[in-house]
Amino acid sequence: MARLKNEMWEKFANAMARGVNQTNSALEAGYSDVSAHVRGCELAKKPDIRARIEELQRKAEKATVAALAVDRQWVLRELVANAEAARTAKNQNAVNRALELVGKELGMFVDRKMDVKSPLDTLNAPQLQAFMEFLTTLTEPSGITIPAPEAMQEMQSHQPAVDLVHSETANAQPV
């Protein structure tokens, strides 16, 4: 939409788009103190003025976003500039840090930290002790017939037993 043909309406729309209330927008547009309140209300209801206000608000929003936008390229340029400035100032720590951040952003470094979950994490101290004792018995030469420690028996008691010999499906006839 182009500028409004009436210059006072255009000034009113600009003031409204900036967030000024109707009365003060009418005053900024040049309307008298006596009629500003009524004229502001009337102008704000006109469809063409309303459309112009919305257009100006969208333009202002886009300009603000563009001005505040920080993209990847800008960050990289700033980090490289910081590294160069730190090198000139002979500040090796700052140089290394800036280069480290550039490298991370470019994916040059791999974080070798690995988060591993173990079923042993759920065991308490006595259960872990019993499990360790069980493992040591497995390494002994006579470890063939060793009863499971209490911790292992507790863990096994939570699993349902399945008797395949006497189950209904074991005796089922093929279809």
Whether residue 174 is contained in a domain is answered as no
The total of structural domains in the chain comes to: 3
Whether residue 112 is contained in a domain is answered as no
Q: Are residues 55 and 22 in the same domain?
A: yes
How far is C-alpha 39 from the geometric centre of its chain's CA atoms?
Answer: 47
Q: To 10 degrees, the CA torsion angle through 111, 112, 117, 123?
A: -120
Q: Are residues 23 and 50 in the same domain?
A: yes
Token digits of residue 66: 């563009």
Q: Alpha-carbon torsion 161, 164, 166, 171, what sign? A: positive
Q: Are residues 98 and 128 in the same domain?
A: no
CB atoms closer than 10 angstroms to residue 78? 14
pLDDT band (50, 70, 90) for residue 152: low
Q: What share of the chain is helix, strand, coil (3-state, %, to 5)?
A: 60, 0, 40
Q: Looking at residue 20, which CATH number applies to its domain?
A: 1.10.10.1400
Domain that holds residue 145: 119-156
Q: Are residues 12 and 43 in the same domain?
A: yes
pLDDT band (50, 70, 90) for residue 83: very high
pLDDT band (50, 70, 90) for residue 133: confident
Whether residue 169 is contained in a domain is answered as no
Q: Return mean pLDDT, the chain.
A: 82
Q: Are residues 128 and 150 in the same domain?
A: yes
Average pLDDT estimate for 127-156: 69
Q: What is the model's pTM?
A: 0.43
Whether residue 132 is contained in a domain is answered as yes
